[in-house]
Amino acid sequence: MKKVSLEVNGRKITKDIPDHTILSVLLRDILNLTGTHIGCDTSQCGACVVHIDGKSIKSCTTLAAEVNGSKVTTIEGLAKNGKMHPMQEAFKKMHGLQCGFCTPGMVMSAIDLLQNKKNPSDTEIRDWLEGNICRCTGYQNIVAAVKEAASKM
Amino acid sequence: MKKFNYHLVKDIKEAKKLSSPNSTFLAGGMTTIPSMKLGLGTYKDIIDIKGIKKLSGIKVSGKILKIGATTKHVEVANSKEVKKSIPSLAALAEGIGDPQVRNKGTIGGSIANNDPAADYPSACIALNASINTSNNRKIDSENFFRGLFETALKKGEIIESIEFEIPLKSNYQKFPNPASRYAIVGVYVSKYKSGTNVAVTGAKSCVYNDKDLSKALSNNFSSSAIDKVKISSSGMSSDIHASGNYRANMVKVFAKKAVEAC
Ligand SMILES: Cc1cc2nc3c(=O)[nH]c(=O)nc-3n(C[C@H](O)[C@H](O)[C@H](O)COP(=O)(O)OP(=O)(O)OC[C@H]3O[C@@H](n4cnc5c(N)ncnc54)[C@H](O)[C@@H]3O)c2cc1C
Ligand code: FES
Ligand code: FES
């Protein structure tokens, strides 16, 4: 067992967990933060993307013990005082989702893009979202949503 | 996933002490964790080497660019030193996988793994790299990459850093697998005063220096020199992505692209 302390969405937590606990499992099954989705579970699809100290990573391919002491932000941590994050607003406004399964990962990844590049081009958005697979939208509206968010953030 | 013990180590000594036939080192985990989930690897002890400070960092001294083993792809891609000394290497790092893979994956992990379609091994061969290890060995790239997922590393030996020789000019071009971005074929060309190296990845079961292309370009550094070289499809990988003949042809196409972009 390992004692793991994290700040998850601004809340400090400490848990005793088995060494082999994957971060996505800690978030979903132990902390009940089921907004982080698991699609492929082998680092291909991006449904599980969260931020560790502000940078996007795939939580299905990260051990909880590896990020001990870090700040974790999940999709549940984006809204402030009941108001959606501009990226969430933009996905809603531009119809950037259909079934919504890929959406938490898309949103977390896209926010990291805007942290790196303020006004990305369509190509830059598509390149950045390389690791996020969507089975529904055809991506067009996702790109439109990221552009919309870029204009607001 | 099967149970294991996780150890975060502070130095090489501690890592070596914990190392056993049932252990593995963990860097970015981008290969290790999925393969454990798929049952391709089972370990009793996972030794996380990311806490070893001296394994990370980027430094140029004279004609050598030295990169620590646990330096992440994103750090190489964004590094001012790398962009200035060997821009093609920064571009290679920027082209690996996706942003989340680059935020965790490391150069040492990529080289130790020696995936036949990985990008970094071609950079090592083309840029006359030597690989420094915890056994006080300095291994030439040509002797390091031994075969399919096989390297000269002994059990428990840790890559500490990679030293690249800064070329006059260089370029890397790949035909990426549209899903993973691994190279279906990747060609790294680098020109030195003493001659030109052409390293090829993705095409065969292990990265290699194409001696015929290297010789042709050493004599005449132009894409027309490549036209005259015959690339045999013998030994080329054949799979759902590309046949051996197609790969052989792509080696030429991408070698030309790389020379033209130099
Ligand atoms: C979706 C996806 C797409 C990818 N696309 C590409 C791509 O386009 N091009 C490409 O080249 N790669 C690609 N990769 C692989 C990626 O670059 C990995 O980062 C790399 O293969 C392994 O590095 P790591 O740091 O994650 O190593 P780990 O998974 O932690 O380790 C891999 C192996 O290396 C050993 N090891 C790690 N560090 C050391 C060291 N310092 N000394 C000795 N042994 C060590 C480990 O014990 C293990 O056996 C992709 C991976 C994924 C998941
Ligand atoms: S669930 Fe993590 S990348 Fe697919
Ligand atoms: S909205 Fe259904 S997978 Fe993207």
B contacts of A44 (beta carbons < 8 Å): 179-180
pLDDT value, residue B186: 98
Domain boundary pick from B103, B133, B165: B165
The minimum CA-CA distance between A58 and chain B, rounded to whole Å, is 6
Average pLDDT of chain B is 97
Residue B10: what pLDDT? 97
ipTM score assigned to the predicted complex: 0.97
In this structure, the answer to whether residues B119 and B197 fall within a common structural domain is: no
A51-80 tens-digit pLDDT:
999 999 999 999 999 999 999 999 999 999
Same domain for A13 and A62? yes
In this structure, the answer to whether residues A56 and A117 fall within a common structural domain is no
Of B4, B30, B99, the CB nearest to A61: B30
Q: Domain containing B63: what range?
A: 54-165
Q: Which of B112, B141, B123, B89 is nearest to B31 (CA)?
A: B112
When scoring A63, A73, A117, A128 by the number of chain B Cβ atoms within 10 A, the one with the most, hence best to mutate, is A63
pLDDT of residue B137: 98
Q: Given A77, A99, A133, which residue is the final one in a domain?
A: A77
Q: How much is the pLDDT for B85? A: 98
B26, B34, B104 member nearest A42 (Cβ): B34
Regarding whether A72 and A6 lie in a shared domain, the answer is: yes
At A112, the pLDDT band (50, 70, 90 cuts) reads: very high
**Tell me, what CATH number does A138's domain have?**
1.10.150.120
- Answer with the one of B135, B165, B195 that is the final residue of a domain: B165
pLDDT at B211 over 90: yes
Same domain for A11 and A73, yes or no, is: yes
Q: Residue B161 maps to which CATH number?
A: 3.30.465.10
Please identify, among B137, B165, B193, the residue that sits at the C-terminal boundary of a domain: B165
What is the model's pLDDT at position A153? 87
A71 and A25 in a single domain? The answer is yes
CATH label of the domain that carries residue A46: 3.10.20.30
pLDDT at B1: 83
For residue range B177-209, what is the model confidence (pLDDT) as tens digits? Answer: 988 899 999 999 999 999 999 999 999 999 999
Quick one: which ligand is closest to B132's CA?
A: 1
Domain total of chain B: 3
The domain in which residue A93 lies consists of 86-152
B239 contacts: CB under 8 Å, gap ≥ 6 = none
pLDDT, tens only, B78-119? 999 999 999 999 999 999 999 999 999 999 999 999 999 999
Strand partners, A55: A52
Tokens of B190: 């680098």
| Residues of chain B numbered 140-179 and touching chain A (CB < 8 Å) | 179
- Percent of chain B at pLDDT > 90 equals 98
Q: Which residues of A touch B101 (CB under 8 A)?
A: 43, 58, 131
> Does residue B144 have its Cβ closer than 6 Å to ligand 1?
no
- Does one domain contain both A73 and A97? no
Q: How confident is the model at residue B242 (pLDDT cuts 50, 70, 90)?
A: very high
**A42 and A59 fall within a common domain:** yes
Residues B38 and B61 in one domain: no
Which chain B residue is nearest to residue A1, measuring alpha carbons?
B5
* Spatial distance between the Cα atoms of A6 and B35, rounded to a whole number of angstroms: 26
Averaged pLDDT, B224-232? 95
Please tell me the predicted confidence (pLDDT) of residue B46: 98
Provide the pLDDT for residue B179.
87
Instruction: Please measure the distance between the N-terminal and C-terminal CA atoms of chain B and give it in whole angstroms.
Output: 46
Q: Which of B37, B103, B179 sits opposite A57 (nearest CB)?
A: B103
Q: Collect all residues of chain B within an 8 Å Cβ-Cβ radius of residue A69.
A: none
If asked whether residues A90 and A72 sit together in one domain, one would say no
The A-side interface with B (CB below 8 A) comprises 2, 18-20, 22, 41-44, 46, 49, 55-58, 61-63, 65-66, 68, 109, 112-113, 128, 130-132
Report the pLDDT value the prediction gives residue B24, as an integer from 0 to 100.
Answer: 97
Task: Kindly state whether residues B93 and B128 are assigned to the same domain.
Answer: yes
CA of B94 to the centre of ligand 1 (A): 15
**In which band, very low, low, confident or very high, does the pLDDT at B59 lie, cut at 50, 70 and 90?**
very high
**E-assigned strands of chain B?**
5-8, 23-26, 45-48, 58-61, 64-68, 130-133, 138-140, 145-147, 150-151, 159-165, 169-176, 183-192, 195-201, 208-209
* CA-wise closest residue to B101 among B153, B33, B5, B55: B33
Q: What is the arithmetic mean of pLDDT over A123-145?
A: 97
The number of folded domains in chain A is 2
**How many angstroms separate the CA of residue A129 from the nearest CA in chain B?**
7
pLDDT one-digit tens code per residue, B161-178: 999 999 999 999 999 998
